[in-house]
Chains A and B, each alone.
Chain A
Amino acid sequence: DTAVSQTPKYLVTQMGNDKSIKCEQNLGHDTMYWYKQDSKKFLKIMFSYNNKELIINETVPNRFSPKSPDKAHLNLHINSLELGDSAVYFCASSQKGTLNYGYTFGSGTRLTVV
């Protein structure tokens, strides 16, 4: 069983479109995250979220929004896609207050905006 699964693995779309990336974890973790890895491989956190608190990195455009239907899911919605949104997006999870055995990462979604 995959611990953190993301779909789709690849996504090619046109500028201006709205798209979603789904993430599910079966580890029972209470906190989930979205990271963006740019073309230079730099990883930066976008959001951290548990059922009580959403922490947004202030540099993230408001076109990006996380949506969590339940504790095991954190989807990423992106409106009005721009060329600069092309990147690999990683979902991850952890259990708040415990030592990291990690952060468990999904396998990433490569988003290409054309």
Chain B
Amino acid sequence: AQTVTQSQPEMSVQEAETVTLSCTYDTSESDYYLFWYKQPPSRQMILVIRQEAYKQQNATENRFSVNFQKAAKSFSLKISDSQLGDAAMYFCAYRSGGGADGLTFGKGTHLIIQP
């Protein structure tokens, strides 16, 4: 079974600074997808960014980018120019390729933005 580990229960960053959230995973599969989801206090689950394991290029979405290290099974999220609206729980998630499998989540990182 796959596991996802987020080793930082909480992170704090000054507004406009850059922060990196860590995620590692364990799998024996070669085909899979990785995601970062954001959950603000409204509790809505919002997809931030996704990465296909077969792609070597790191995904980017505006201020959000990932550092995907497949051999190390590492998938960190970098948030540049942090904004107050970025404050939320961030979950790293894994999905097996091709199937109807659901997502396996990490335990989350609570991101605090200091004004």
Contact = CB atoms under 8 A, between A and B. Distances in A.
A53 B102 contact: no
B43 A96 contact: no
B100 A42 contact: no
A42 to B, nearest CB: 5
B32 to A, nearest CB: 11
Contacts of B98: 97
A42 B103 contact: no
Given A88-B43, A99-B33, A48 B105 contact: no
Interface residues of A, number: 28
B25 interface: no
A55 B104 contact: no
A43 B35 contact: no
Given A107-B43, A107-B44, A108-B43, A96 B108 contact: no
A103 B103 contact: yes
A90 to B, nearest CB: 7
Taking each of B43, B44, B99, B107, which has the highest tally of chain A beta carbons within 10 Å of its own beta carbon? B43
Given A41-B89, A88-B43, A100 B102 contact: no
Interface of A: 31, 33, 35, 40-45, 48, 50, 53, 55, 88, 90, 92, 94, 96-97, 99-103, 105, 107-108, 110
Interface of B: 33, 35, 39, 42-45, 47, 50, 52, 89, 91, 95, 98-105, 107-108
